[in-house]
Amino acid sequence: MRVCILLAVCRLNPLHCCTTASCPATPPIIHTPSPPPHTRDCTGPSPCTSLLKLQEEEQQYRTSSLPAIPNPFPELCSPASSPTLSSGAKGLDSRDSSTLIIIKVFSEDGMGKVVEIPADMTARDLCQFLVYKNHCVDDNSWALVEHHPALGLERCLEDHELVVQVQASMTSESKFLFRKNYAKYEFFKNPLNFFPEQMVAFCQETSGTIPPSQLLQNFLNSSSCPEIQGYLYVKEMGRKSWKKLYVFLRRSGLYFSTKGTSKEPRHLQLLADLEDSNVFTVITGRKLHNAPTDFEFCIKPNKVRNEVKELRMLCAEDEQSRTCWMTAFRLFKYGILLYQNYKIPQQRKTLLSHFSAPVRSVSENSLVAMDFSGRIGRVIDNPVEAQSAAMEEGHAWRRMNILGSPSPLHPSSLSGVIHRTQLWFHGRISREESHKMIHQQGRVDGMFLLRDSQSNPKAFVLTLCHHQKIKHFQILPCEEDGQMFLSLDDGATKFTDLIQLVEFYVLNRGVLPCKLKHPCTTVAL
C-alpha cells in the first residue's frame, strides 16, 4: 500500500531591527534572511565601461537641461561645509558604507569566493552573508580567520572588527578563511575551565574559590585589575634560543620578571603591548621555531607584515595554559565588546522566541492525510491509522538511495553509504588530520567527527574532544541473526548505520566521556 501524507510549512517573515553602531549599550542585532544591501557576489557579470560612460553623459545632459529651481526650505539644508554635502568627506570616514571593497574568502578545501563588501562591514556581517549564500546552518559558530601562510600564523577575527581594516594590514599572500569556531565565546559559559585559579592573581590573593560570575566581572570591568601569571617559554628576538620566564599579563601589556617571580615595578620589563597587537596561533609546528613544546602562540604587532624577527613568539606548558593566555589577551584588549558580541545571538533568539509557536495558516488547516493506494483516493480519518501511515512513509524514505530512487538492493546496502552525506563524516582522513580539524574549530567538549578506520577497512573511528583532549573510539561491525550492525562498546549497543549511532550518542553519553554536541564540519564556498 502506498500512502502519501501531505504536509505544509508555515513560514514567518523575519524580524528586522535597526540600531546604531555608536551606542555600545545596545549592540546591533543582526538578522540575515537576505544578504546585506551593499554586498554582492563578484562572480556575476559586470556592466561594461562604455555603458557606464553613456549613462553618466545622459545624466549630465538631463541635469544641465533642467531649470534651476530655488530651494523653498533653505533652513532645513546642511551648511556648505557639512560632511553631508562635502564630496571629500568620504575619504575622511573609513566607515563609509558607499565605498565598496573587493575581498576574497577561502574555504578549507582551498576554493575561494570573491565578494564586494562595504567599508563598514564587520566580520559578523560577512559571516552571516556567507552563511546565507552557501545555505549553511546559522548556529552562530562561524568565524572569519586571518591566515598568514608565510608566517605560519592565524587568528579568528572578533565579530565587531572591520574586515577592510584587517585586510589593510595583510600581505598579498595572506587570506581570509571561512571556518567554524565553537570556542569563540565558550569561556563565557565555562570560565573556570579557561582560567585556572593558579594562573589568576586575584584568585590566589583571596585564597578562596571565586564564583564564575565574579571571575568574568573582574575581567570585563575596566576599573578592576586582574592579572594572569605563570611561566612561559619566550623566544629571544632575532635568535633561535628560548628562555623560561615568569610572565604577567595585564591590561597595560605583557611583562616578565627579571628576578624570579617578583612583581616589583623595577623588576618588570615589557614584552609586548596589547593595544596595537593581536594574538595568533602558530600553525607551522614546533620544528620551524625550535619550540620547546607543542603549545606555541604569538603576539604580532599590527604594523608587522612579513618580518618574523619582529614577532613575539611564546610557548606554554600545556593546552589549557595556552588557551588561558590567549583568552585573557582578548579580554584585556576588547573587554566589554566581547561580551556584547556574545549576547547578540542570544538577544536575537529571545526576540524571535515570540514567533516560535507553530501558527497554522488557512491553507494548512485544509490539508488532511490521504490514501492513494486504491483507484480513488480517500481521506484517513482515524488518527492512529494516519500516524502508522506516516511511520511507514518514513521507513520507505530510508529505503531510498542517495538519488531518491528506490534501491533494488538489500536495505543494508544503504546503511553502508548514507553516512557519507552527513557533514560530520570526513571519509578516509588520518588521525593527524582529524586532530588538526578539531583544534582549528575550538577544542570544546562534545566536538566530534567520524572517519574511516585506516587499520580496519570495515570499521570506523569516532574522534571526540573532551576537556581539551582528543580521544578516538573505534566503531566495529558485529553480526546478529545474520544481520550486520555497528557498535563501539563491543556489541552491547548495536546500530544499523552510523546516523543512528550518532543520533543515539547525541542524546545519551553511554560509554563516551560526554555526549556528542558539536559536529566538526567544513563548507565549500
Residue 272 domain-assigned (yes or no): yes
Residue 308 domain boundaries: 186-351
Residue 247 domain-assigned (yes or no): yes
- Whether the CB-CB separation of 126 and 144 falls below 8 Å is answered with yes
Q: Residue type for 279, please?
A: V
Residue 91 domain-assigned (yes or no): no
Residue 378 domain-assigned (yes or no): no
Number of domains in the chain: 3
Tell me: do 347 and 204 sit in the same domain.
yes
Q: What is the pLDDT of residue 38?
A: 56
CATH number, position 307: 2.30.29.30
Tell me: do 347 and 424 sit in the same domain.
no
Tell me: do 151 and 193 sit in the same domain.
no
Q: pTM of the prediction?
A: 0.68
Tell me: do 343 and 253 sit in the same domain.
yes
Spatial neighbors of 427 by CB under 8 A, at least 6 apart, are: 420, 451, 452
Spatial neighbors of 522 by CB under 8 A, at least 6 apart, are: 107, 108, 109, 179, 180, 423, 426, 437
Residue 199 domain-assigned (yes or no): yes
Residue 306 domain-assigned (yes or no): yes
Q: What is the pLDDT of residue 399?
A: 43
**Which is nearest to 314 in space by CA: 260, 272, 352, 350?**
272
Tell me: do 140 and 199 sit in the same domain.
no
Tell me: do 213 and 323 sit in the same domain.
yes
**Cα(481)–Cα(489) distance, rounded to whole angstroms?**
19
Residue 94 domain-assigned (yes or no): no
H or E stretch at 255: strand 253-257
Q: What is the pLDDT of residue 324?
A: 94
Site of grid cell 552557501: 134
Final residue of a structural domain among 333, 351, 369? 351
Q: What is the pLDDT of residue 388?
A: 72
Tell me: do 161 and 266 sit in the same domain.
no
- Whether the CB-CB separation of 281 and 152 falls below 8 Å is answered with no
Tell me: do 217 and 321 sit in the same domain.
yes
Q: What is the pLDDT of residue 70?
A: 52
- Does residue 519 sit in helix, strand or coil? strand
CATH number, position 156: 3.10.20.90
Tell me: do 470 and 338 sit in the same domain.
no
CATH number, position 446: 3.30.505.10
Q: What is the pLDDT of residue 363?
A: 45
Tell me: do 324 and 438 sit in the same domain.
no
Tell me: do 171 and 196 sit in the same domain.
no
Final residue of a structural domain among 330, 351, 372? 351
Final residue of a structural domain among 335, 351, 367? 351
Tell me: do 160 and 211 sit in the same domain.
no
Residue 524 domain-assigned (yes or no): no
**pLDDT one digit per residue (tens) for the chain, 525 residues:** 444 433 333 333 333 333 333 344 444 444 444 445 456 666 554 444 444 454 555 455 444 444 444 554 444 444 443 333 333 334 434 455 578 999 999 988 888 999 999 999 999 999 999 999 888 888 888 999 999 998 899 999 999 999 999 999 898 899 999 999 999 999 998 888 888 888 988 765 655 567 777 888 888 887 777 899 999 999 988 788 999 999 999 998 999 999 999 989 999 999 999 989 999 999 987 888 889 999 999 999 988 877 788 899 999 999 999 999 999 999 999 989 999 999 988 777 666 555 444 444 444 445 667 666 666 667 777 777 777 776 666 555 444 433 344 433 344 455 557 788 888 999 999 999 999 999 989 889 999 999 999 999 889 999 999 988 999 999 999 988 888 899 999 889 999 889 999 999 999 999 999 999 999 988 777
Pairing of β 447-452 and β 518-519: parallel
